Structure 1
Amino acid sequence: MEHHVTVGVDGSPESRAAARWAAREALLRRVPLRLVHAEDLLLPPLAPSGDPEVRERWTDEVLTGAAEELRRRHRQLDIVTRCLSGRPSAALAAEAADAALLVLGSRSLGRLVGFIIGSVSLSTLAATETPVVLVRTAGDPATDDPVVAEARPAYGEIVVGVDVRQACDRVLAFAFEEAARRDCTLRAVHGRKLPSVMGYVPVLDPDAPREAERSAARMLADMLLPWRHKFPGVRVEEKTSIGSAGRELVQATAGADLVVVGRHVRRSPLGAHLGPVAHAVLHHAAAPVAVVAHD
């Protein structure tokens, strides 16, 4: 049963931003928030000495400090804390098994370079089919004013990447549900790169690229139609384009509150399959990115 939101914390600015985002999400879902710490989540500059007692005390301070901050911001939120043992990705995946969502922080490499997807995050993505959200520090609405923190925020739009050539019901279900909770616009984006063999077609038929885009737009509309009926209150915008799907989706995320992408479930030791579009968004979108596993 999905009855809580789980977030990994390690004392870093990224994990604090992730915890604040996860707290707001838990409130939206009206479920408890679970703060968890796995020792190897530590970034090297934050790691205390190797003394077990010192590390245990530091871990307790990380969890207690994060919980106290969130309780000041959201007095009505039910918060529990847990310290995990074992391999971090496996421990986090186990914690996420009965969660609605797992939230992790993501470090920035700079505006021109992008964001780091750490080995723990990648391994956790491979180990769980629970949706995972990676949160950046950019745009984190930190505030110490509990009145401001508890006020209902004005949500921006949610952007979802859609591949019209394959079924992605779990991705669309997640995106529509998030938009419905926030009462915000959902923008569905599909980008298609024409095969290289089509490179000469515009010379012979100038309308060919436009017809390819119109065809993609029809396929996108058909794919979204059942979800529009299921969520009639969600405002939906559709965008199709010819070009790099990853670049188009990243550009569409400017100002978004959340970006939703899919990944194929790979039931093998090779781990999570992140396609080029999901890879581009995870590394270059400044908004929080939700990765939803699907067949």
Structure 2
Amino acid sequence: MLPPVIAGVDGSAESLAAAEWAAREAVRRDRPLRLVHAWNWHPRQGAGEPATAAQRYLGRRALRQAEDRIRRTCPGAKLDDEQIEGPATTALLRAAACADLLVLGSRGLSGFTGFLIGSVALGVVARATTPVVLVREGEEASDEHLSADDGSPSVRTGYRDVVLGIDLGDPCDEVIEFAFEAARVRGARLRVVHAWQTPSPPGLGPGEVGLVNGPEQADEWLAFLTAVLNQWRDKYPEVEVAETVTEGRARSVLVRAATGASLLVVGRRMTERPAGPRIGPITHAAIHHAGCPVAVVPHE
């Protein structure tokens, strides 16, 4: 059986939006959809079995609410569900280990709610070995599509761009492939964005791009980006690709580029640090400030 697309639900508005987005993505990828609700029972609380029964009831209600919404809006999804016992971060990571993709709800700049309280959601993103997509409250199917000719929202028009933020100092195959595949299943254009800043003279070596002036640097970066993408163009000939190199801070450039996109794709290096896993400042800015769903793709 193909690995499913998994959505975490807790009854909140953002988790319902995430579940609906996950259903559409499962159909696009021809994958089953699994809804999961994480709950945590602590025997030391003294509530015992009644507390467990209450938590299971609330979990069942949250799952049923999400199921009803998906059956109305995305009847083609092949759907099942389960309740998983926490702690929430551990439970979601365990579920994600067998998934094609994990989808969670997000309030963007306002943080996360429900069982996705800040540290939980960020902990999942920072530790997951599977791509995680964060979907904001209020996301609807029409938000992924271009407006109709009269400017009104539509689900019958083509998809908006998929945007890939790429670091040409460390272009990662897993991240690039995820973005190309996301564009392919949507029939969307892939817009690949690289932000560059002129390095200080002490950091330069012979022949480095930073030795030339601004316009020439942009041309050099663009040529490098085109070379990196050539093999992926050959692998995905049906995907239209547009490259952009912009001078500026990567986090600001990327958030601006995601305006009006259907999906923003960023990477996260799976490197354990003394202080524990980190998502990095660019990914952190993307998941808090981008106005579209954000896919965080782990890589070595």
Normalising by the smaller structure, the TM-score range is 0.7 to 0.9
Q: 1:177 aligns with which of 177, 181, 186?
A: 181
Offset at residue 76 of structure 1 (A): 2.7
**1:26-69, Cα deviation, whole Å (9 max, x unpaired):** 000111110001126xxxxxxxxx94333321211111121122
Matches within 5 A, 1:65-84: 65-84=65-84
Matched residues, number: 270
Find out whether 1:64 has 2:64 as its counterpart.
yes
> What's the counterpart of residue 14 of structure 1?
14
Unaligned 5+ segments in structure 1 are 41-49, 143-150, 199-204
CA contact (8 A) 2:38 2:91 kept: yes
Find out whether 1:105 has 2:99 as its counterpart.
no
Offset at residue 243 of structure 1 (A): 1.0
> What's the counterpart of residue 23 of structure 2?
23
SS of residue paired to 2:261: coil
Q: 1:242 aligns with which of 241, 247, 266?
A: 247
Q: Which is further off, 265-274 or 130-139? A: 265-274
Equivalent-residue separation in structure 2 for 1:215 and 1:170 (angstroms): 24
> What's the counterpart of residue 35 of structure 1?
35
Offset at residue 153 of structure 1 (A): 6.0
Find out whether 1:291 has 2:296 as its counterpart.
yes
> What's the counterpart of residue 140 of structure 2?
140
SS of residue paired to 1:64: helix
SS of residue paired to 1:129: coil
> What's the counterpart of residue 212 of structure 1?
217
Offset at residue 273 of structure 1 (A): 3.1
Unaligned 5+ segments in structure 2 are 41-49, 143-154, 203-209
> What's the counterpart of residue 224 of structure 1?
229
Offset at residue 195 of structure 1 (A): 2.2
Query: Amino acid of the residue matched to residue 232 of structure 1?
Result: P
> What's the counterpart of residue 276 of structure 1?
281
In 2 relative to 1, CA 274–127 (structure 1 residues): closer, same or farther, beyond 3 Å?
A: closer
TM-score (norm 2): 0.83
SS of residue paired to 1:292: strand
Identity within the alignment, %: 43
CA contact (8 A) 1:39 1:88 kept: yes
SS of residue paired to 1:10: coil
Q: Which is further off, 155-164 or 115-124? A: 115-124
SS of residue paired to 2:72: helix
Please give the root-mean-square deviation of Cα atoms over the aligned residues, in Å: 2.5
SS of residue paired to 2:195: strand
Equivalent-residue separation in structure 2 for 1:86 and 1:206 (angstroms): 53
CA contact (8 A) 1:258 1:290 kept: yes
Q: Which is further off, 267-276 or 72-81? A: 267-276
> What's the counterpart of residue 164 of structure 1?
168
Offset at residue 90 of structure 1 (A): 1.3
Equivalent-residue separation in structure 1 for 2:218 and 2:30 (angstroms): 41
Offset at residue 118 of structure 1 (A): 1.8
Equivalent-residue separation in structure 1 for 2:226 and 2:211 (angstroms): 24
CA contact (8 A) 1:133 1:291 kept: yes
